[in-house]
Structure formats: C-alpha cells, structure tokens
Structure 1
Amino acid sequence: MTCDEARERIPFYAARSLPEPEGAALLGHVVGCELCQGELVAAMRLGHELRAAFARLPGPPARTWLAIAARTVGASLLEVGVGSEIAGLTLAVGATKSGFSVTGSLSLLGREVPVLRI
C-alpha cells in the first residue's frame, strides 16, 4: 500500500467504517511508515475527541418530545387510495398514543367499508 492509498483510508479507519481486510492492509503499511503513523494517530485522536464531545451534548428537553407527540397523535402520516367513483381501496398509517395504526377500507358506490385495522 502506498502513502497516498493509506491517507485515503485513514479517515475511514478512524471512523471505524473501513472493512477489516483494508484495515489490516492499512495497519501493515502504517507499522513501517512514520508519516502515516502520525496521520493515523491524529485522525484517531480527532475521532475520539468528537465522539466524546457529542456524548456530552444534552438531548432535547422532555417537553420537546411531548410537544411532538401531542401534534402527531391522531394525525394521518400516510394515506394511499386507488380506485374510481365505483370502487376503491384506501390504506392509511396514523400516529396513536401507543405507536402507529394501520387502517384500510374499501369503497363501493360511494359507501365506505372498513376492512383492516391494526
């Protein structure tokens, strides 16, 4: 592996997203290359510091999640309907206090008949 190839892979290795065979090849190069060793150490240190900084960030206040839940409960999140004036099918996904609901109905000559409720 060349230094250029190693430098391309170092950020991925530091982010823990480099496939194992490539990581092994990178480490094989880094063992014998002081320049790449320094870059790898700097990238690993930066990754560690970033993860630590994100871990210290506070999450949103509980009232934020309560406000979001209050706005979405009972709301239709997705509704798909196919058909015509004579016959049709409607499927809908909505938010409830305990999760999500899925409903489906058939319409025949303008009259709606529920056929699914999960």
Structure 2
Amino acid sequence: MGNNILIVDDDVGTALFFKICLEDVGHQVTIFNDPGSLLEEFEPGVYDLLITDIRMPRINGFELASRIRIMDSKIRICLATAFEEYYQSIIKSYSDLSFNCIIRKPINKDSFLEIVENRLKQPK
C-alpha cells in the first residue's frame, strides 16, 4: 500500500502530472490548486508527504509549508520550483523549516519518483 500524498500547485497540468506519476506506483494523491483551500480543509495526521509549488498567488509554498508544519509536525515536505533564484533568495526567511527535498521543474517522471521515494524513506 502506498503513502497518502498531498500536492499543492496552482498549475493544474503540473499537479496532474505529479498525481499520475504517484498513482502509477500505488500512492493515494489529493490535489489542491489553491493553497488557501488546503489551509481551510487540512486534517493533521492524514498525509505522509506534502509536495508544494513555491511560487503561487497569495500564499507561497514556504508560507504554506510553515503553516502546515504547525498543524502537523510529522508531515514530510518537498518543495517544487522552476525558479532557482527565487528559491535561494527566500529560503533564508524560513530557516526554521528543514527543506531537504527540492523538486526542480521541469522534471521527468523517473527523477520525480526517485526524489519522492527518497523523501518518504526519511524520518518524519
């Protein structure tokens, strides 16, 4: 049985790509295209992993991850970005969070699954 994975990306195509890749290998996947909706509906203890885009309107991925981490201290987190400079400039503001999982877009299916599986093997 796979893990329960949460994907948050305002780009519907990217979110669906991630979902299909993960479901193909047996994970259960829930997608949110609006981080605000996720914050309203999030239930602690349900998800093994959060994969969130960094650059989204209103709430960026760092802020979202910070808020989710407060609600669920055990959830693993991966950040996805196509903007390396953006990531480097903002990560200093969120040094309290341990983001040791970065998904650089665009990414192919095999690389994506390898990153996710490695993160799922790490302690919560």
TM-score, normalised with respect to structure 2: 0.21
Q: Which structure has more strand as a fraction of its residues? A: 1
